[in-house]
Copies of this chain bind each other. A is one copy, B any other.
Amino acid sequence: MRRIKMADVARLAGVSAMTVSRALKRDSSVSPATRRRILGIIKETGYVPDQIAGSLSSKRSGFIALLVPSLNNPHFAETTHALADTLQAAGLQTLIGYTNYETRREEPLLAALLQRRPEAVVLVSDGHSAKSRELLLKAGIPVVQIWDWPSRPIGHVVGFSNEDVAVNMVRYLAERGYRRLAYLGEINDQGTRGARRRQGFVRAVKELKLGPVRLHDQCPPPISMLQGRAALPQMLKRWPDIDAIMCVSDPGAFGVLTEAQAMGIDVPSQLAVIGFGDFEVSRCCLPALTTTAVDGGRIGRETGMLLLNLLGYAEQDESSDISDGKTSQRIKIEVHLTPRGTTRGD
């Protein structure tokens, strides 16, 4: 019992395959009666169009490729979700690849995804090899880098400067009177956004002349809550007099906060703790965590809308100043330093 195909439906409806194809595409040039008949037969027979054949013929795969370090990070999960939802409205599907924060995985992954002929590629961050850049350029499709603000972008950008975020947080701590800051970060983080935040920390501490640059790298990305807990005693041993710890991301910061409580260190009077990302736990814990909030869903939606424009799936309203196609877009996403209980007020 063969799988039913478009030609079968056409035969049963007494029309040509082309008419079935049109009826399925809501092509206006099919009479209502004919369409009704065709849709009836499709329902009866349970016909499922073969999108593979359709893609080959139309040269539109209906795919967008997305490369993320990991889905096991609420930020990227949110962005992925929002992007996929936005694109789904136009019938586009999102093909996801994970690098596991390992740059060397990027190239083969990209090569595999490109064989699917995606109509665009979306990449988190900026750690791309020359080979990867070449693959992307040669593919001749829109490329969007998200979640950072690369100095030499490949194509379009939807994000913000992780370095500036870190600079801003150091300033904030300095303004609140903290003087002996330490940074809790990750090892082997080349090309990650965390590495950019570390750079920002270093730059700001130097600019503000806050004394020695104290960097403690605990583990490969992503740092976990428990690794944050483990880090605090080690950091206090290295630098007994620090009065603030800035962490590459919230989970680590929450770990530091928890361990401080376990050790009887008062936060924020004895030690300030500041994170990044505004994870859910940061809003819920006691005291709530000072952090920088980023709207991951917004990044996904903006990226999705940009792509719909670029690929010509969007409604053509007058606001489509975006869709000039060639010039690469730079969409800045606002982030918000959010003071809470783990740093003292003014």
Chain A positions within 8 Å of B, measured between CB atoms, are: 3, 46, 48-53, 55-56, 61, 70-72, 74, 77-78, 80-81, 84-85, 88, 91, 93-96, 98, 111-117, 134-135, 138-140, 224-226, 228-229, 251, 254-255, 258, 261-262, 280-281, 283-286
Contact = CB atoms under 8 A, between A and B. Distances in A.
Contacts of A55: 52
A77 B81 CA distance: 12
Interface centre among A49, A117, A135 (most CB of B within 10 A): A117
Interface centre among A55, A111, A115, A139 (most CB of B within 10 A): A115
B284 A261 contact: no
A71 B61 contact: no
B283 A258 contact: no
User: Which 7 residue pairs are nearest across A and B when measured between Cβ atoms?
Assistant: A225-B284, A51-B115, A71-B77, A72-B77, A52-B55, A52-B56, A56-B56
Contact of A96 (B96, B224, B285): B96
Given A229-B284, A280-B224, A285-B258, A117 B56 contact: no
Contact of A281 (B50, B98, B115, B225): B225
B116 A280 contact: no
Contacts of A53: 56
Contacts of A229: 284
A103 B276 CA distance: 34
A70 B61 contact: no
A300 B117 CA distance: 27
B286 A49 contact: no
Give chain A's interface secondary structure class. helix
A91 B48 CA distance: 25
A101 to B, nearest CB: 12
B61 A52 contact: yes
A117 B225 contact: no
Given A77-B72, A78-B72, A96-B96, A226 B284 contact: yes
A93 B112 contact: yes
Contacts of A139: 48
A195 B262 CA distance: 36
B98 A95 contact: no
Contacts of A74: 72
A201 to B, nearest CB: 24
A55 B54 CA distance: 12
Given A49-B115, A226-B283, 12 more contacts: A50-B115, A51-B115, A51-B116, A70-B77, A70-B81, A71-B71, A71-B77, A88-B112, A93-B95, A224-B280, A225-B284, A226-B284
A284 B286 CA distance: 14
A117 B81 contact: no
Contacts of A224: 280
Nearest to A61: B52
18 contacts: A3-B140, A50-B117, A52-B61, A56-B56, A70-B77, A71-B77, A72-B78, A81-B98, A85-B98, A88-B112, A93-B116, A94-B96, A224-B280, A225-B281, A225-B284, A228-B284, A251-B280, A281-B281
Contacts of A285: 258, 285
A117 B51 contact: yes
Nearest to A139: B48
